[in-house]
Chains A and B, each alone.
Chain A
Amino acid sequence: MTTETAARAPKWRLWASKADIKATPYALVSPYFILFAVFGVFPMGYTLYASLHAWKLGGADPEYIGLDNYKFLLFEYDRFNWSVFNTLGMFIMATVPQLVVALMVANALNKRLRRPMLWRMLILAPIVTSVVAVGVIFARIWGQEYGMVNGFLELIGIDRIDWQAERWSSWIAISSMVDWRWMGYNALIFLAAMQTIPRNLYEAATVDGASPRQQFWQITVPQLKPVLIFTVFVSSVGGMTMFVEPMMFDSGRLLGGTDGQYQTTAMVLVDILRTHGNYGVSAAAGWLLFLVIGVVAAVNFLIVNRIQGNK
């Protein structure tokens, strides 16, 4: 029937429809790829170029200096290495408990609950708050003088803690912001994956006398491996680019406390770029951060990939 219609159609229409079938797909995807080239690909290359040059806002033309910007960050500017350490530390403190709790919450949500949607929405509610708002609220919850946490500590006879002062204490406070905002989101992702696990696996295990707890570790967790890998990857990228939480914890400043004890790499990058206007060094910081994220993501993949079920 197609050929019949085509044969009767005038020649130009045939040509037009051929052109339509051949060319239109490219027209449809082109907006994405044009914008991606301008705002995704070009910046990557341009960052590499900038990182190899001495180049400042309003300064002389860029001058090629090889890897000096990288050397400066790695061997002279102490804040950079410390920031990588801080970011890694806060990432681990924020991610590990968060994912464990999210798994448990997802498992609970996967039970036969009444009003499942209401529970899901309650758990997800923190996501409505912006990171800035989370920072504002939690900075007060962890405040030294009037903060709620210190108030409770005092009630049970523990001295008030200046949570901003030390590395470990500031990390706890900042991690709590990340945990609070993202736990529910991850729990829903785990829940979605749990719902696709074939029910007969559990039925067979029940027949074999496995307890719900055993079933959770032997069936649920191994079956969730792909989604765990995905979540850990996303959390790695998010955690290693942490910026707003520590900034708001220091009243919106970029230096991460009196001694940089919670300054993250993204904060160092922005500080160099905005406060000092140094294009070259901040571009180098961007590439180094990119490499660190790659390494962290790879290591996490290797760790999660070791999960195995013995069914």
Chain B
Amino acid sequence: MSTATAPRPTAAAPVKPPKPPRRPKKRRPVESGEGVYAPTVLTRLGLLAVAALSIFPLYWMIVIASTSTANAAGFPPALLPGPNLLEHLNQALTDPEANLLLGLRNSMIITGIVTFSVVLISTLGGFAFAKLKFRGSKVLMGTVLFSMMVPLQQLGIVPLYIVMVELQWLDTLQAVILPFLINGFGIFMMRQYVEQAVPDEIIEAARIDGASTIGIWWRIVLPALRPAMVVLALLTFMLNWNEFLWPFMVLSGENPTIQLAIRQLSTATWSADLSMIFTGTLISIIPIAILFVVFGRQIVSGIMEGSSK
């Protein structure tokens, strides 16, 4: 597929293939080092191998989930999907002990609320830090940056657990949700985007017209931030859908998130069935996989742009 690249003139770097992979407001459009050299055959083969290794475990999971249990174990391993996927999906979802449906529901609720909160709080804070002058803003922003660096989760897990025990909140969803409602990275990211996307003149003009600060946020900043909000929402959703440690601390097997349900499924003595375990694992991945297929472009550019700032 990619072996027949006609070497394009070096100077034509900004000319991108049909769909531009990045948003138009590129930061450094001219000096981009992208595509200086054509790849050698060895480079192509290496990339192909890495891509295959990236995909293979995911593919193999589908293979095992769709093949009969007898074929799932043994060597050489099954390498082609079998006919049993729908049957296994049905079986896994309706198994009363596996709790997969409840896990999916809980994860949806938790991740949905957390994502909404992180995006909302980050746009508010990002706007304030980017465009408003107030005493102490530098110190406060420094605190945000510091909080991004420090692994508070590991340190905070003991006291937060104690608090949840005292409040008798163990096994409740609010115990899982509350500690994750904010994210320092979100504030940081939104601050960067507001600085780029909202010119000072527009804000000043709105003030002269008598707009309040909140009104400016609602009518000017939020619309301009929409693409960035999508990216932040995607990253937050993925991160929290896959979160394990804290839910594991406070939730029991009766009221699990999907990740806890998968752990139970793969460790419980009643489910030694490999294809059933892999079916459950597949189910846990499907929501994120759909997001990745639909919004992969935004996720990739979100990761790339978030990092180089």
Contacts and interface: CB of A to CB of B under 8 A. Distances in A.
B218 to A, nearest CB: 12
A57 interface: yes
A26 B137 CA distance: 9
B51 A136 contact: no
Contacts of A185: 303
B244 A195 contact: no
B213 A112 contact: no
Interface string B188-221: 0000000000000000000010101110010000
B48 to A, nearest CB: 9
Interface in A97-125: 101, 104-105, 108-117, 119-125
Contacts of B58: 125-126, 128-129
A130 B28 CA distance: 34
Interface in B212-241: 212-214, 217, 238, 241
B25 to A, nearest CB: 15
Interface of A: 1-2, 5, 17, 20-22, 24-26, 28-29, 31-33, 35-36, 39-40, 42-44, 46-47, 50, 57, 101, 104-105, 108-117, 119-134, 136-141, 145-146, 148, 151, 154, 180, 183-185, 188-189, 191-200, 202, 212, 227, 230, 233, 237, 240-241, 243-244, 248, 251-253, 266, 269-270, 273-274, 279, 282-283, 286-287, 289-290, 293
A54 to B, nearest CB: 14
Q: Is the interface of B mostly helix, strand, loop or mixed?
A: helix
A132 B259 CA distance: 6
B208 A5 contact: yes
Given A25-B137, A180-B53, A110 B33 contact: yes
B103 to A, nearest CB: 11
Contact of A128 (B217, B285, B308): B285
Contacts of A138: 57
B203 to A, nearest CB: 11
Contact of B157 (A20, A184, A197, A273): A273
* Secondary structure call for the A interface: helix
Given A29-B129, A130-B244, A287-B155, A151 B75 contact: yes
A51 B122 CA distance: 33
Given A180-B53, A199-B33, A270-B249, 5 more contacts: A32-B121, A40-B156, A43-B152, A44-B156, A133-B284
B155 A192 contact: no
Contact of B43 (A111, A136, A198): A111
A273 to B, nearest CB: 6
Nearest to A143: B73
B285 A31 contact: no
A306 B292 CA distance: 38
Nearest to B303: A188
Contacts, number: 323
A109 B21 contact: no
Given A42-B159, A117-B300, A28 B127 contact: yes
Contacts of A137: 57, 60-61, 278, 281
Contacts of B8: 112
B80 interface: no
Interface string B283-309: 011001101100011011001110110
A24 B155 contact: no
Given A128-B292, A192-B307, A244 B244 contact: yes
B167 interface: no
Given A28-B217, A233-B149, A101 B50 contact: yes
Closest 7 CB pairs of A and B: A43-B156, A112-B35, A151-B75, A46-B159, A252-B267, A192-B304, A130-B242
A24 B241 contact: no
Given A124-B303, A125-B54, A130-B242, A286 B144 contact: no
Contacts of A195: 28, 32-34, 308
Given A25-B213, A283-B158, A286-B154, A110 B300 contact: no
A86 to B, nearest CB: 16
Nearest to B18: A115
Contacts of A240: 151
A111 B50 CA distance: 16
A151 B60 CA distance: 15
